[in-house]
């Protein structure tokens, strides 16, 4: 059988050196390295900038919107009363824009910083997988954790070692981390270890020369999963109290944020956290639907603010980059005929804090209806695109955003960010002030 790179990667230590040999260095840039972890809140469905981070006084607002001004921030005290406590650390970007206005394609762009090309989808990993590959440590936990996300792009050709772990976020944690069905814990663990050893012996030929990509990915992840078994430190990362659950909002996005907090505090390998909050595709009844602007902003407000509170209290806030964004904005000005907003890629807003970002600032501005960018607010004098945001994330966590990899299945070059080598897209220096 012909030995591919994946055979080396999963069957011997030589794979790592071979993979690195087939990389292309970038422009010789120096990443900032101001963060050791990234928490990325993916607002799936496309949040309205007018109803989140770029509010305007207009007839489209509900009566209880309670718009206020605090320093540079215009905000709704109805939607974000808790986040307002963190304005000194918060950066709002109001001059962002997307390339796509369809959910699937725009989600792909946000997850990968690449356009969705069916021919190359298998060679276009999630940015969390890139971070995992470049910065992943020898910690017990996988470097990339993802919550609440369907249609996650994953590691693709980068291999199983960098696939995201997608655990449940519940107070009881992960029940399969131990199999205590055979008496005492020590007895159960001994029996498990003997069974696992037998499995490794039987599987050895297939692990050394996997038959296909799926088997290679499975083999790469298997050993890491085994290391997590019967480990109290790992077990505690995924458990939390009722008080914490309520303080974070007792919902999916809040529970995921608690696990991210626990993992960041534990510092045992996990460094990129994708937390998805669905429901933002509010074409209809955006203030009266069961899932509405009210419920979505409440849940987001509680989760992000509690996460910031706890990371500040334990000292990890300054080295944790928190990014909150969706795939695009929503139609500006008055609501549509169904009391909602439709897709709009020309303007969107992003919130960031921690990880060296300088807060208490707004970058960019839009007109009175949020329809056009009137001030880009940074030296590039153009909209800030997903590639720029991703380059900024890479730079913050210490990844060379201009790097490429030649060793793809098709032998086409994979650029971490297309256009980074010639300077078309770069980290936004103004994020750091």
Domain boundaries, the chain: 5-176+213-432
DSSP-derived secondary structure letter, 255: H
Strands 37-43 and 320-326: parallel
- Give residue for tokens 């980059």: 321
Residue appearing with tokens 């696990």: 259
Residues 6+ apart with CB under 8 A from 313: none
Residue pair 350/323 in contact by the 8 Å Cβ criterion: yes
Q: What is the pLDDT of residue 217?
A: 67
Select from 140, 164, 309, 306 the least CA-distant residue to 235. Answer: 140
For the record, the structure tokens of 118 come out as 């069916």
Q: Is the dihedral of CA 203, 208, 213, 217 positive or negative?
A: positive
Segment 6-32, tens digit of pLDDT: 444 444 333 333 344 367 778 889 999
In this prediction, residue 377 has a pLDDT band, given cuts at 50, 70 and 90, of very high
Strands in 348-353's sheet, in edge-to-edge order, are 144-147, 272-277, 37-43, 320-326, 348-353, 90-96, 361-363
Q: Which residue has the tokens 């080396």?
A: 8
Query: CATH for 5-176+213-432?
Result: 3.40.720.10
Q: Which residues face 400 on adjacent strands?
A: none
- Give pLDDT tens digits for 327-373: 999 999 999 999 999 999 999 999 999 999 999 999 999 999 999 99
Between CA 49 and CA 129 the distance in angstroms is 28
**Encoding tokens for residue 290?**
């069961």
392 half-sphere exposure, CB direction, 13 A CA radius:
25
Question: pTM for the whole thing?
Answer: 0.91
Residue-wise DSSP of 81-126: TTGGGGGGGEEEEEEE--S--SHHHHHHHHHHSS---TTTGGG---
**Among the listed residues 240, 371, 221, 233, the one whose alpha carbon sits nearest the alpha carbon of residue 306:** 240
Summarised one tens digit per residue, pLDDT across range 180-236 is: 777 777 777 788 878 888 888 888 887 778 777 677 767 767 777 888 888 899 999
Alpha-carbon gap, residue 141 to 156, rounded angstroms: 19
Q: How far apart are CA 261 and CA 243, in angstroms?
A: 15
Buried/exposed code over 203-220 (b: 16+ C-beta within 10 A; e: otherwise): eeeebebbeebebbbbbb
Query: Which region holds residue 164: left if phi is over 0, alpha if psi is between -120 and 50, else beta?
Result: beta
- Tell me: pLDDT of 40 over 80: yes
The structure tokens listed for 215 are: 């088997």
pLDDT of residue 272: 98
């Amino acid at each position: 059988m012909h030995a591919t790179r994946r055979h080396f990667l999963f069957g011997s230590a030589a794979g790592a050196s071979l993979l690195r040999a087939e990389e292309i260095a970038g422009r010789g840039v120096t990443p900032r390295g101001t963060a050791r972890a990234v928490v990325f809140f993916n607002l799936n469905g496309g949040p309205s900038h007018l109803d989140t981070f770029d509010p305007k006084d207009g007839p489209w607002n509900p009566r209880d919107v309670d718009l206020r001004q605090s320093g540079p921030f215009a905000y709704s005290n109805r939607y974000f009363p808790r986040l307002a406590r963190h304005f000194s650390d918060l950066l709002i970007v109001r001059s962002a824009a997307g390339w796509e206005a369809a959910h699937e394609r725009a989600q792909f762009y946000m997850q990968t910083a690449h356009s969705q090309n069916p021919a190359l989808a298998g060679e276009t990993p999630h940015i969390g997988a890139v971070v995992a590959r470049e910065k992943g440590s020898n910690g017990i936990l996988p470097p990339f954790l993802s919550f609440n996300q369907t249609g996650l792009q994953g590691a693709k050709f980068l291999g199983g070692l960098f696939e995201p772990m997608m655990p449940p976020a519940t107070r009881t944690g992960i029940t399969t981390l131990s199999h205590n069905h055979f008496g005492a814990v020590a007895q159960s663990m001994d029996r498990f270890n003997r069974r696992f050893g037998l499995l490794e012996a039987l599987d050895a030929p297939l692990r050394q020369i996997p038959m296909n990509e799926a088997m290679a990915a499975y083999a790469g992840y298997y050993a890491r999963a085994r290391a997590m078994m019967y480990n109290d430190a790992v077990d505690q990362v995924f458990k939390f109290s009722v008080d914490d659950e309520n303080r974070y909002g007792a919902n999916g996005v809040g529970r995921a944020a608690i696990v991210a907090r626990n993992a960041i505090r534990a510092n045992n390998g996990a460094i990129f956290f994708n937390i998805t909050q669905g429901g933002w595709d509010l074409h209809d009844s955006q203030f009266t639907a069961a899932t509405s602007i009210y419920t979505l902003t409440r849940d987001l407000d509680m989760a992000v603010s509690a996460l910031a509170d706890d990371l500040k209290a334990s000292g990890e806030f300054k080295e944790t980059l928190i990014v909150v964004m969706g795939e695009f904005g929503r139609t500006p000005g008055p609501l549509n005929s169904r009391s909602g907003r439709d897709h709009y890629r020309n303007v969107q807003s992003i919130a960031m804090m921690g990880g060296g970002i300088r807060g208490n600032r707004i970058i960019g501005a839009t007109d009175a209806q949020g329809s056009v960018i009137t001030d880009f607010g940074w030296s590039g004098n153009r909209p800030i695109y997903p590639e720029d945001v991703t380059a900024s994330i890479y730079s913050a966590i210490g990844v060379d955003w201009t790097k490429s990899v030649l060793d793809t299945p098709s032998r086409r070059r994979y650029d971490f960010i297309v256009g980074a080598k010639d300077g078309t897209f770069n980290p936004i220096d103004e994020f750091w002030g």
